[in-house]
C-alpha cells in the first residue's frame, strides 16, 4: 500500500495535549453557561487576535515564538467596486423592522461591532464565522443574545449567546450579496428585550463559489450488508435517529465547520479568505430547522454514499482495527476504502481526486474495549488522495447551524455501554464532537499535503475546536477544568505552514486568481562559494529548515506571494550562513535538512544541505571549468543500484551532440548521447522498448539541450528533453507516474552532463551544470 509523505506525516493514535486552567462552570438548558467570575479582557487582548498589530514581512523567518503576531484580521481581497468600511451600526426605530437602516438615526453604543470581517468583503464558502463585541468588554461586560437575520429572509434568524460582551456566530451565505442584520438583546439594557430590538448593526458580505478549483469530496462508506446505522445512545436514537439520513446531515454540518474554521484561519494569516470547496447537490436544505419543516430546496454539500464489496463483519475485523495493537494489518481499512472510492469515482488518467471518507460501520465493542471498523489514516493511491475516519463520535455532531453551540456545550457524560470514549478524551458529548470533527479535519489536512506540526490542528490541538464556535467552554473531563470565557487567542489554529501549503494548493484556488502555472516544480542547484541557487517557475513560497533530531518543523523562511507580502521570487541565492542564522545557538552547527516549496504546490527535499554545497558536488570538466552536481530526483534505493554519471563530450567543443536516444518502458532505463562522429555516451541501461526512441537536434541552428522534464517518485518514471530553440521532445516512459519536475539550470548556467544512479532501471537523476 502506498502512503505519501514522510513518516512524520502519518496519522498517529495519540499526541501530547496541554492542560487548561480551572474555572467554575455549569451548563444551562438553553445552551449558555454560568461560570465563576474571571478577568475581563482588555482592548489590548482583543488586538492580539483581531487588532492592528502588523504581521512580519513574508521575506523573514518565522518560528513558534513569533507565529502569534500574524493572527491579525485579514483585509478582504481588493475589489474596485466594493470598498471595505466599518460595519454600519444603527439605532433602529420601532417601525423600522428589517428594512434598510436609516443613516440619520444615532448609532447605539450597544450595537454589535463585527471585528473579524469588514463590510462588503468577499468570501468563498457557504458558512461564515463571525466574531465581535458589544460596547467595550473591559468597562461594561454584558450578557445577552445576538440574533443574526438576512434582510431577504432567505435563511431563518439564528440566536447566539453573548458572553461578557463577546459573541461568535455562523452565517449561512448564498452566492451574491448577503445583507445581514445583527441585533443585540440583554435584560440589563433598557428596551433590551423588546420584540423589535434597537441595538442593531448591518453587514453586507459577497459570496462567490470557487468553481474553478477541484473539490474535497465527502464520502460515507458502508458495508455491502450494512443496515446504515451508527453508534448512538437510546435517547439520541429516539430524538434524532441514527440512520444514514441523519449521518448525512451531521457529516455535512461538520464539513461546513471545517470550511468556516479554515477560511477564518487563512484570513488571520493574511492569506485571503481562501478555502477548499465541496461538490454540491440540489436537495432539501438540512442546515436549518425551517428548511426541513417546509421542504425548502437548496444547493448543499454533496455526501456520496458508497457500499463496499466487504461485509460489515469484514470491516469490523479486529485484525484491521487501527486501535488494536495486535492487528495484523492496521492500515487495511485504508486500502478497502480506497478501492471502493476508486471503483465509484472511476478517475481518469491524470485526474486527481481529494476525498475524505467516514466509515459508517465503525462500532464500539465494549467487551473488547476496542473501536472496530475505524481508522484515522491518509494515503495516496495514484491520483486518489484519500483519508478515512470512523463514525464513533457522530451522535455528538450538530445537524444544523442552530445546533452548533448546543453541541459544543453538551456536558452529557459518554455512556460507554453504547458509544466509545475515544482515546479517553471524549468523556462528554461536546468533547466527543471535538475529537470526531477535529480529528477528521486533521486527516483532511493530510489529504492537502500537511505533515504533523509543532502546534495546531496538525498536532492535536483540535481537542479545543469548540472554542472557535463558542464564547464559553464547559467543564472538561479531559483536563478536569471548569471552563470559562474563550476568546480568539484561546482557539485552536491551523499552523502557519499549513496555511502556506493551502495558499499554494489547487483546491484553494479563487476565481480571481491568475491561471495556475503548469510547472509547479522547485529545484536547488549548488553553485560557487558553497552557495545554492533555488529556482521555481511558479515562484518560491517557503523553505522548511530541519536539523538533526527534528521530527517537526520549527524554523522556516517565507518569500513574497505577489500581493501584500512582496514580489514573487523565481530565483534566489541561498547561503548556509543565512540559513544557520535562523536557528537557535544550540542548533547552528547541526546538519541542515531542507524542504523547498513553490507557489505552484511543488516541493523538493535536500537531505543534507552541507553535502549538496560541498566539494562532493563539484566536478572538474574537460574544458577546465568547474561543474556542479544538482540534487537528485528519485531515491536511489533499488536493489543493486549503482552511481552513474556522464559528462558530455560536447562541453570541450571537440564534438557536436546531434542526437539523443532514450530507452524506456514503464520507467526510464537509460539515455544515450550520440555525437557527429558516431561516438556515444550511455547513462543507465539499454532496456525497455527495443532500440529506444530518438530525438534529433538541429545542429545547423546551434540547437542544444537546455533542460529536462522528469517524472519521478521512488525511481525515475520518464523524461522529456527541452532545447535552446524552445522545442520539447515527446515524453519517454510513464507519463502519469510520480510527480513532475522541470530541470532547467539557473540563469547564467548550462547543462554539462547528467548524474544519478541505476538499478534495474534509472532510480536517481540530476544534471551537472556549469557557467
Give catalytic residue positions.
443
The conformation of residue 676, written as its DSSP 8-state character, comes to T
Q: Which residues pair with 89 in a beta bridge?
A: 201
C-alpha grid cell, residue 348 = 481518469
Rounded Cα–Cα distance for residues 125 and 133 (Å):
23
Interacting residues of 240 by C-beta distance below 8 A, sequence separation 6+: 246, 399
**DSSP 3-state of 575:** coil
Q: What are phi and psi of 443, to 5 degrees?
A: -70, -35
d(CA 611, CA 576): 11
Find, among 269, 238, 23, 276, the residue nearest to 125 by Cα: 276
**In 587-695, which ranges are continuous DSSP H helix?**
609-612
Give the dihedral of Cα atoms 113, 114, 120, 126; nearest 10 deg. Answer: -140
Grid cell listed for 170: 455562523
Q: Strand 176-185 vs strand 61-63: parallel, antiparallel, or unpaired?
A: unpaired
Residue 751 exposure: Cα atoms within 13 Å on the Cβ side: 21
Output the CA angle 305-309-315, nearest 5 degrees.
85
Residue 188 DSSP class? T
**How many whole angstroms separate alpha carbon 553 and alpha carbon 546?**
6
Q: Angle at CA 177, nearest 5°, toward 92 and 263? A: 105
Residues 545/553, Cβ–Cβ less than 8 Å: yes
Q: Which three cell numbers stand for residue 750?
A: 548550462
CA distance 485 to 239: 30
d(CA 114, CA 130): 7
d(CA 73, CA 534): 32
Beta carbons within 8 Å of 83's beta carbon, 6+ residues apart: 120
Report d(CA 160, CA 170) in Å as an integer: 9
For 590, counting Cβ atoms within 10 Å of its Cβ (0-12 exposed, 13-18 middle, 19+ buried), the class is middle
Taking every pair of Cα atoms in the chain, the longest distance, rounded to a whole number of angstroms, is 99
Amino acid at each position: 500500500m502506498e502512503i505519501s509523505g514522510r513518516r512524520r506525516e502519518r496519522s498517529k493514535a495519540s499526541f501530547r495535549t496541554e492542560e487548561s486552567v480551572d474555572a467554575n462552570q455549569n451548563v444551562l438548558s438553553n445552551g449558555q453557561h454560568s461560570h465563576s467570575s474571571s478577568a475581563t479582557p482588555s482592548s489590548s487582548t482583543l488586538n492580539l487576535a483581531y487588532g492592528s498589530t502588523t504581521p512580519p514581512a513574508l521575506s523573514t523567518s518565522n518560528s513558534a515564538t513569533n507565529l502569534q503576531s500574524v493572527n491579525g484580521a485579514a483585509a478582504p481581497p481588493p475589489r474596485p467596486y466594493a470598498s471595505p468600511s466599518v460595519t454600519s451600526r444603527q439605532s433602529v426605530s420601532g417601525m423600522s423592522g428589517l428594512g434598510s437602516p436609516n443613516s440619520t438615526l444615532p448609532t447605539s453604543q450597544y450595537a454589535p461591532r463585527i471585528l473579524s470581517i469588514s463590510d462588503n468583503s468577499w468570501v468563498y464558502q457557504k458558512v461564515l464565522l463571525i466574531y465581535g463585541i458589544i460596547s467595550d468588554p473591559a468597562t461594561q461586560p454584558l450578557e445577552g443574545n445576538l440574533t443574526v437575520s438576512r434582510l431577504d429572509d432567505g435563511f431563518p434568524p439564528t440566536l447566539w449567546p453573548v458572553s461578557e460582551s463577546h459573541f461568535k456566530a455562523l452565517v449561512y451565505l448564498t452566492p451574491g450579496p448577503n445583507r445581514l442584520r445583527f441585533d443585540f438583546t440583554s435584560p440589563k439594557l433598557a428596551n433590551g428585550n423588546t420584540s423589535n430590538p434597537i441595538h442593531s448593526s448591518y453587514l453586507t458580505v459577497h459570496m462567490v463559489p470557487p468553481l474553478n478549483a477541484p473539490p474535497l469530496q465527502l464520502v460515507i462508506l458502508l458495508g455491502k450488508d450494512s443496515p446504515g446505522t451508527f453508534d448512538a445512545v437510546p435517547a439520541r436514537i429516539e430524538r434524532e435517529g441514527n440512520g444514514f439520513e441523519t449521518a448525512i446531515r451531521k457529516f455535512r454540518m461538520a464539513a461546513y465547520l471545517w470550511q468556516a474554521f479554515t477560511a477564518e484561519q487563512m484570513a488571520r494569516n493574511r492569506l485571503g479568505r481562501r478555502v477548499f470547496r465541496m461538490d454540491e447537490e440540489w436537495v432539501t436544505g438540512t442546515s436549518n430547522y425551517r428548511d426541513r419543516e417546509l421542504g425548502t430546496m437548496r444547493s448543499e454539500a454533496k455526501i456520496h454514499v458508497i457500499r463496499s464489496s466487504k461485509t460489515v463483519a469484514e470491516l469490523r475485523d479486529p485484525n484491521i482495527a487501527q486501535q488494536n495493537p495486535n492487528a495484523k494489518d492496521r492500515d487495511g481499512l485504508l486500502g478497502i476504502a480506497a478501492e471502493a472510492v476508486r471503483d465509484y469515482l472511476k478517475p481518469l488518467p491524470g485526474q486527481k481526486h481529494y476525498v475524505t471518507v467516514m466509515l459508517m460501520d465503525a462500532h464500539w465493542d465494549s467487551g473488547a474495549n476496542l473501536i472496530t471498523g475505524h481508522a484515522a489514516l491518509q494515503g495516496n493511491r495514484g491520483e486518489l488522495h484519500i483519508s478515512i475516519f470512523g463514525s464513533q463520535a457522530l451522535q455528538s455532531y450538530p445537524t444544523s447551524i442552530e445546533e452548533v453551540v448546543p453541541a459544543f456545550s453538551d456536558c452529557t457524560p459518554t455512556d460507554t455501554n453504547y458509544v466509545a470514549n475515544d482515546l479517553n478524551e471524549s468523556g462528554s458529548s461536546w468533547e466527543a464532537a471535538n475529537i470526531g470533527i477535529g480529528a477528521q479535519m486533521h486527516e483532511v489536512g493530510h489529504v492537502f499535503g500537511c505533515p504533523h506540526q509543532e502546534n495546531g490542528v496538525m498536532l492535536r490541538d483540535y481537542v479545543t475546536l469548540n472554542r472557535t464556535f463558542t464564547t464559553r467552554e464547559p467543564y472538561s473531563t479531559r483536563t478536569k477544568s471548569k471552563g470559562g470565557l474563550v476568546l480568539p487567542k484561546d482557539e485552536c489554529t491551523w499552523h502557519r505552514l499549513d496555511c502556506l501549503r493551502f495558499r499554494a494548493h489547487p483546491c484553494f484556488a479563487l476565481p480571481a486568481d491568475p491561471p495556475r502555472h503548469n510547472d509547479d516544480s522547485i529545484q536547488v542547484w549548488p553553485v560557487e562559494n558553497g552557495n545554492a541557487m533555488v529556482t521555481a517557475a511558479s515562484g518560491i513560497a517557503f523553505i522548511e529548515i530541519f536539523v538533526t533530531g527534528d521530527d517537526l518543523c520549527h524554523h522556516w523562511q517565507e518569500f513574497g506571494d505577489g500581493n501584500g507580502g512582496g514580489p514573487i521570487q523565481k530565483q534566489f541565492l541561498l547561503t548556509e550562513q543565512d540559513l544557520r542564522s535562523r536557528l537557535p545557538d544550540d542548533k547552528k552547527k547541526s546538519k541542515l535538512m531542507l524542504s523547498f516549496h513553490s507557489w505552484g504546490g511543488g516541493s523538493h527535499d535536500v537531505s543534507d544541505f552541507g553535502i549538496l554545497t560541498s566539494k562532493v558536488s563539484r566536478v572538474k570538466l574537460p574544458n577546465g571549468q568547474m561543474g556542479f552536481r544538482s540534487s537528485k530526483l528519485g531515491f536511489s534505493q533499488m536493489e543493486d543500484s549503482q552511481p552513474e554519471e556522464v559528462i558530455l563530450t560536447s562541453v570541450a567543443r571537440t564534438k557536436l551532440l546531434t542526437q539523443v536516444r532514450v530507452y524506456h518502458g514503464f520507467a526510464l532505463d537509460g539515455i544515450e548521447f550520440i555525437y557527429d562522429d558516431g561516438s556515444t555516451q550511455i547513462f543507465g541501461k539499454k532496456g525497455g522498448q527495443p532500440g529506444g526512441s530518438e530525438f534529433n537536434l538541429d545542429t545547423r541552428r546551434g540547437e542544444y539541450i537546455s533542460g529536462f522534464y522528469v517524472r519521478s517518485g521512488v525511481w525515475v518514471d520518464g523524461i522529456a528533453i527541452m532545447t535552446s530553440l524552445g522545442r520539447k521532445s515527446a515524453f519517454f516512459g510513464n507519463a502519469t507516474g510520480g510527480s513532475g519536475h522541470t530541470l532547467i539550470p539557473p540563469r547564467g548556467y548550462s547543462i554539462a552532463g547528467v548524474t544519478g544512479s541505476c538499478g534495474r532501471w534509472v532510480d536517481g537523476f540530476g544534471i551537472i551544470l556549469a557557467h
